[in-house]
Structure 1
Amino acid sequence: MSDQNGADQTRPTPTALPIVINAQYVKDFSFENPNAPQTLLPGQPAPQVSVGVDVRSQQVGDTLYEVVLEMRCEAKVGENTAFLVELSYAGLMTLQGLADEHIRPVLLIEGPRLLFPFARAIIADATRDGGYPPLMINPIDFSDLYRRQTAPTSTTA
């Protein structure tokens, strides 16, 4: 239905998102290239890369939270470490209008999902600047990571 000015009144009005990123920053960062130049010589086999991810959060104000995406990437050629990257990339986020039971999932799923592309770029740049092809980390299912972290653990007697 349109009013006299031709505006469409059937469209829902956009609502504000419950999460606002106030700041993003590198909290801690390390790149090690312990066996260079040997690992960079021509003819070296491709390194085996492992990637570890963790997410944590803390409340720093009434509706203000810090979300930290921690990533550790290690590349090995045989027993030798080619490179090691450790990054803690954080965001200062405001959450409003959420029920208490939704705050933790939003922080630990949506928070890192928003931070991930920036952390990925930092790691890709660091590995490239270290003499290797840029490490392009595949997208991460933070929803699945959250479910695994919060799943009840069974104990056996």
Structure 2
Amino acid sequence: MSEPIQPVFTIDKLYVKDLSVEIPNAPQIFLEREQPQVDLQIQNGAAQIGDGVFEAFLTATVTAKVGEKTLFLIEVTQAGIFQIRNLGKEDMDVVLGVGCPNILYPYLREVVSDCATRAGFMPVVLAPMNFEALYMQRMQQQQQQQQQ
């Protein structure tokens, strides 16, 4: 009797795929003493790049403003290459939509904080994210669109 095929999940590589820091109002913006408003926009995705090999990524756009003036804009794409095999489609979607982003997010947070500090600002500490809730929300939206 043959053994059941076991799922495979390994991390091959984690890396910063894209990075941009802009300080459009420097040097005058460094004279501002008000607390900035920080906005975070985040997207995730994945693509198959080989047999059982996937690239998953998180892209964050962090904008800090004082009033209408932009202090800085940081755009980061944190990515990883993952070996994922022997999973059904639904399980694969969950791994790529929840598991991989959960692995990538702490690295993305570190890059954002480090970039803000190196640009001369206070560190930006991004709050933890619930990728499972975001995934479920996306699934509900897709179901609603299919019903229409």
TM-score bucket of the superposed structures, by smaller chain: 0.7 to 0.9
Q: CA RMSD in A?
A: 1.9
Name the residue aligned to 1:27.
Answer: 17
Name the residue aligned to 2:99.
Answer: 110
Unmatched tracts of structure 2, length 5 or more: 1-5
Name the residue aligned to 2:144.
Answer: 153
Aligned mates of 1:126, 1:142 — CA distance in 2: 23
Alpha-carbon contact 2:7-2:87 (below 8 Å) kept = no
Structure 1 residue 56 corresponds to structure 2 residue 45:
yes
SS in 2 for 1:106: helix
Percent of residue pairs bearing the same amino acid type: 34
Match of 2:110 among 104, 109, 121: 121
If you compute each CA radius of gyration, which structure gives the higher value, 1 or 2? Answer: 1
SS in 1 for 2:144: coil
Match of 2:72 among 58, 74, 83: 83
**More strand by percentage:** 2
Aligned mates of 2:77, 2:53 — CA distance in 1: 19
**More helix by percentage:** 2
Aligned mates of 1:81, 1:119 — CA distance in 2: 21
Alpha-carbon contact 2:74-2:112 (below 8 Å) kept = yes
Alpha-carbon contact 2:46-2:55 (below 8 Å) kept = yes
What is the TM-score of this pair, normalised by structure 2?
A: 0.87
